């Protein structure tokens, strides 16, 4: 569960970084001005943020439970399991996806107003 949650959020955060770099490229601003960090540092930072967001899946036994009939770990249907899944999707997937969409809308605006 930790790996699954981490990969979900890393993909969203890396897409956000790529969208930010595209926005800065089309706006003719150097990519070092994206938070003042190099791309390698941004990648490592997205992994750290994702691990921190996914950490409750390890520390809380109600989030992921072992199902003996399936012989597999499944999401718990308790309140804490559903709250964790909700906050993970909002903070780790939906907010970065919204910022990525905003960045690409800005890129389209730049391309629309630039001369051919």
CA 22 from chain centre, in angstroms, equals 17
Model-wide pTM > 0.85: no
Neighbours of 34 (CB within 10 A): 16
Note the pLDDT of residue 34: 58
| Regions of the chain short of the pLDDT cut 70 | 30-36, 116
Assign 49 to helix, strand or coil: helix
């Amino acid at each position: 569960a930790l790996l699954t949650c981490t990969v979900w959020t890393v993909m969203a955060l890396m897409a956000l970084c790529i969208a930010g770099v595209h926005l800065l490229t089309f706006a003719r601003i150097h990519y070092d001005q994206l938070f003042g960090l190099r791309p390698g540092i941004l990648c490592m930072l997205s992994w750290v943020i994702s691990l921190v967001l996914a950490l409750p899946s390890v520390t809380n036994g109600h989030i992921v439970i072992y199902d003996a009939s399936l012989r597999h770990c499944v999401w718990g249907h308790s309140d804490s399991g559903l709250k964790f899944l909700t906050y993970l999707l909002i903070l780790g997937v939906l907010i970065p996806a919204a910022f990525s969409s905003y960045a690409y809308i800005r890129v389209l605006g730049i391309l629309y107003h630039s001369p051919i």
